[in-house]
Amino acid sequence: MMSEFVAATQGNYVETYLNVSSKSIIYAKNSKGKLQASIGVNILFSRNDSVFGYGKYNLLSPEYEDTLVFKPNFIDVQRYFLKRGEYKFELSITDNNNVSKPFTYTQQVIVDLDGEIPTVSSIELIDSYKKADSTSSVSKNGYDIVPHVSSFFPEAITEITYYAELYALNRDIATGETFIINTYLESFENRVKMQDYFRFNRSKSSKVIPILGSLNIKTLPSGNYNLVVEARDKNNMLIADQRIFIQRSNPSIAPNLNELNALSVTNTFVEKIGIDTLDEYIRYLRPISTRIEVDYANNVVNAKELLNKQQFFLSFWQKRNALNPEVEWQKYHVLVKEANKLFKTQTRKGYATDRGRVWLQYGKPDSRLVYDREPSLYPYELWQYYKLNNRSNRRFVFSNTDLVSNNYLLIHSDAIGEVRDDRWQTRLNKRNNMYQSFDQEKAVDQFGTNLRDAYDISR
């Protein structure tokens, strides 16, 4: 994981967070006769074959006297000062006590914070913090901050703690004038605000404002969410905001359905929808539903109570448009019809395919490139969204490996919460293996030029 901040005198910097599981590494005796793990780390930020940030170091675990003592995970934090722009991030990790192949990882990183306009930094998730006695690699604005190096929060964790920075607010609001900082959770799929998970603070305008707080998530049901930090002026107008994806597992908590059961459907648009049609319409909602809504919808469809189905369907669209839920449904229904026409297969409707799900969840892509005539590759499609969930140039790669149906599977995306496979080019090239055996890496070099060009051009 990584976060982006702005230092007053040095400019933009990226913090990288590495969490090493003690169960995945080997401990060996060091020169002092104590057990210690040693991890070789290589980090590279590059663009067009030029290096802009580089780190090569050995990360050492704490020392232990014997093998039986409990060994917790250990964390590494590094900072790289980078100018605004897009970079290729490459990470290589080697267990120095193990001769196995290194772990490698790559991704595109966009450094785009502008500290001269009102902006919220990345949101850093935190395990713990304390007042700093001295400056270190984990110090920011007088605090030593230990990051939570995961977007996953299991049932045992009952609180989300976070840190962010607000820049240049004094450009729009006079220094010392009061403004509001809101922090809350929203559903990841549809950005509906979770009313029970909200806090606000009043603060005074200045050049840099640290934001440190927490939300109690003990009763938060399982699902995908965004943690949102936003600044608003005294008239409640949005100045700047930032989001980070989190995933919650809390199986002992069930959603409260009392409000739904009390909902009246009389004289609403759902009242005249037949039960069989309504079942199909409820299935259409899956691509844009929260996990809670999916679970409830499954139970509703399997039941025979028409009223429960109507209440669920009406409530679903009221959450998205309280003033006119029918209009919101009709707009979505148009997209469903398009997905069903474009992506249907012999065995399933278009909305239930991978392409249909992405189409409905994120809308029509800004660019859709179809490659189905390259004999050495499986047919594939490359979709690009210029803006997606506050991120630029998010891409999706779909592949049709059976060569017969119209069922393209999502094999790679750089969007948050989606499947990621940085060897997706190799997977497309595996079509050759049906007829011959050869060096797979050479296959990527030989046949992957168009793949790389198409993918890179979309950046």
232 and 309 co-located in one domain: no
Instruction: Kindly tell me if the per-residue pLDDT of 276 is higher than 50.
Output: yes
CA distance 241 to 290: 22
Least confident of 190-199, 233-242, 271-280, 318-327: 190-199
273 and 247 co-located in one domain: no
Looking at every residue in the chain, the average pLDDT score rounds to 86
CA distance 336 to 87: 36
Task: Read off the pLDDT of residues 345-401 as tens digits, 9 standing for 90 and up.
Answer: 988 999 999 999 999 999 999 999 988 777 778 889 999 999 887 777 889 999 988
CA distance 317 to 242: 26
203 and 296 co-located in one domain: no
72 and 131 co-located in one domain: no
Give the model's pLDDT for residue 456.
Answer: 58
Q: Is residue 306 part of a domain?
A: yes
Average pLDDT of span 268-289: 92
271 and 244 co-located in one domain: no
Q: Is residue 357 part of a domain?
A: no
Q: Closest by alpha carbon to 223, among 258, 192, 198?
A: 192
**pLDDT band at residue 430, thresholds of 50, 70 and 90?**
low
121 and 249 co-located in one domain: yes
CA distance 419 to 417: 7
Q: Is residue 444 part of a domain?
A: yes
121 and 97 co-located in one domain: no
Q: Select from 232, 253, 274 the last residue of a domain.
A: 253
Give the model's pLDDT for residue 443.
Answer: 43
Give the model's pLDDT for residue 433.
Answer: 55
Dig out the tokens for 442 from the structure. 């050479």
Query: Residue 123 belongs to what domain range?
Result: 114-253
Least confident of 117-121, 283-287, 291-295: 291-295
Average pLDDT of span 307-312: 89
Dig out the tokens for 396 from the structure. 């999706």
Identity of the residue numbered 363: G
131 and 94 co-located in one domain: no
Q: Select from 285, 319, 348 the last residue of a domain.
A: 348
Classify strands 238-248 and 152-153 as parallel, antiparallel or unpaired. Answer: parallel
Q: Closest by alpha carbon to 15, among 152, 139, 193, 180?
A: 139
CA distance 121 to 105: 24
CA distance 188 to 361: 11
Instruction: Kindly tell me if the per-residue pLDDT of 437 is higher than 90.
Output: no
Dig out the tokens for 276 from the structure. 């069989």
94 and 184 co-located in one domain: no
CATH number of the domain to which 150 belongs: 2.60.40.2550
Q: Closest by alpha carbon to 112, among 230, 4, 16, 33?
A: 4
249 and 264 co-located in one domain: no
118 and 106 co-located in one domain: no
Q: Is residue 177 part of a domain?
A: yes
Beta bridge partners of 19: 75
Give 102's DSSP letter. Answer: P
Q: Is residue 355 part of a domain?
A: no
Neighbours of 262 (CB within 10 A): 8
Give 94's DSSP letter. Answer: E
**pLDDT band at residue 448, thresholds of 50, 70 and 90?**
very low
Q: Closest by alpha carbon to 161, among 230, 93, 211?
A: 211
Query: Cβ distance 250 to 222 under 8 Å?
Result: yes
**pLDDT band at residue 440, thresholds of 50, 70 and 90?**
very low
Give the model's pLDDT for residue 416.
Answer: 82
Query: Cβ distance 259 to 150 under 8 Å?
Result: no
Average pLDDT of span 273-285: 92
Instruction: Kindly tell me if the per-residue pLDDT of 459 is higher than 70.
Output: no
Q: Is residue 353 part of a domain?
A: no
Give the model's pLDDT for residue 300.
Answer: 79
Average pLDDT of span 91-115: 89
Instruction: Kindly tell me if the per-residue pLDDT of 43 is higher than 90.
Output: yes
Give the model's pLDDT for residue 293.
Answer: 84
